[in-house]
Amino acid sequence: MTLALLLAALTLDEAVLRALGSSPEIKIARASLVVSTAETSVARVLPAPEFRFSTGNFDTDPDTFRERTTAALRYSPPRPREISLKQAIAQTRVEAARANVRVAEVRIAAAVRLAFRQAVMAQSRESVAARVVALAKSKRRTLLRQVSAGLKEADEKDLADLEVEEAENSLRRVASLARAARAKLARLIEPGGTFDDELALDPELLAVPAALIDKTELTGLALRGRAEMEVIAETCKEQQLEQKLAKDQRYPWISFVEVSHRVTYLPERGPWGWKFGVDLPFFRSAAAAEGKVAAAREMRCRVQQSAMAATIRNEVEEAIANLESLRSELVDVDRLRSGPAERAFQRAQLALKAGRADQIDLLTAEHRLLTIQDRWLERRQQYVELESQLEAALGASLPAARTN
């Protein structure tokens, strides 16, 4: 691979950014945030004054019957704290919508990270499978020469043919999985579902992963980092404010103030007049019922908050347990690959140079080494999937600083 191609390779971070910019789910969440932000202006609106105009009289006494025309201005003032409470309620909805945007972003980012790593690992396994095919064919060619020279039995050719066929079948299967993984990644980062970028290889994917940091610390990160917790917290806050707003409606308050001017002149009467009304919520009112409903919703919200926290703890603990178990297996396979299998391959090389072994022994040793490497890559791919589950539980990518 040329240097220019390496420089043009798509990195994990670039793939995440492209997905965040093209995801329909995130666009919908952001549009909801715009709506919630616009609704805050409604909460700041004061009641509009009312202009009234009246004329005529139902009095049938001819001595007192007069046409009277009156113009009036009527206003219903908001209750104390009503506007500020409505603004606070609207703001909690904005914050909940903003947290929902983060929920969508985290979900998409986690899916892209998983798909990207799976695609890279699938490419690595495809390279190993292609090398195994090449080894099998080389082994068959060597065996055919040995059969022709009378050094091997002819029936061993059938076993070599079978080995080539199995290797090619394995390559086709792995290549199909690699194409599927790449297509999945393409659907996440491109609206059309296709892209031609090379994928940058992260060296950490081909190494034994470092041990996770302390479980308690990860659980704390999850409880602080999950945007779903913020959504619930804002919802609970909204219900608290709804209770305060309903409580304000339970006390007497000026329902209206009206100033009027009589257009038709009446002797011994001034042209100006005024009146006002007061709400007297003596009976069971809608506000009292609304307050009870808001209190019940807040109680439900607190239960949901506790349940979400417990779920997050369980998700983190389960993911950590699975990762630690699989990491131990990766360590064992890596020790086998870099230890006995590698030493056996080196011994076969030395034996071939010394004339104590033939080419088939060396090819067999290398095939054994590649088989163990493919097993390690398969387990590493499973680790990536479990890692994605932990990232989803944390609400973010894994911390960069981890200890061995």
Residues 6+ apart with CB under 8 A from 3: none
Tens digits of residue pLDDT in 4-32: 444 468 888 899 999 998 889 999 999 99
Please answer whether residues 230 and 92 qualify as being in contact, where contact means their C-beta atoms are separated by less than 8 angstroms: no
Average pLDDT over residues 214-226: 86
> Beta strands of 220-289 (E only): which ranges?
253-262, 272-279
pLDDT of residue 312: 92
pLDDT of residue 206: 85
Structure tokens at 118: 């799976």
Asked if pLDDT for residue 276 goes beyond 90, the answer is no
Average pLDDT over residues 226-254: 90
Residue 151 DSSP code: S
Structure tokens at 1: 């691979």
Asked if pLDDT for residue 401 goes beyond 60, the answer is no
pLDDT band at 124 (very low <50, low <70, confident <90, very high): very high
CA nearest to 87, candidates 130, 43, 48: 43
Asked if pLDDT for residue 62 goes beyond 70, the answer is no
Mean pLDDT of the chain: 85
- Rounded CA separation 314/381 (Å): 23
Tens digits of residue pLDDT in 135-161: 999 988 888 888 787 767 777 778 888
Residues 6+ apart with CB under 8 A from 111: 19, 188, 388
pLDDT of residue 403: 38
Tens digits of residue pLDDT in 316-347: 999 999 999 999 999 999 999 889 989 988 88
pLDDT of residue 60: 54
Residue 226 bridge partners (DSSP): none
pLDDT of residue 59: 58
Q: What percent of the chain has pLDDT over 70?
A: 90
Q: What percent of the chain has pLDDT over 90?
A: 42
Asked if pLDDT for residue 192 goes beyond 80, the answer is no
Identity at 73, one-letter amino acid code: L
More confident position, 312 or 148: 312
Chain Cα centroid distance, residue 193:
20
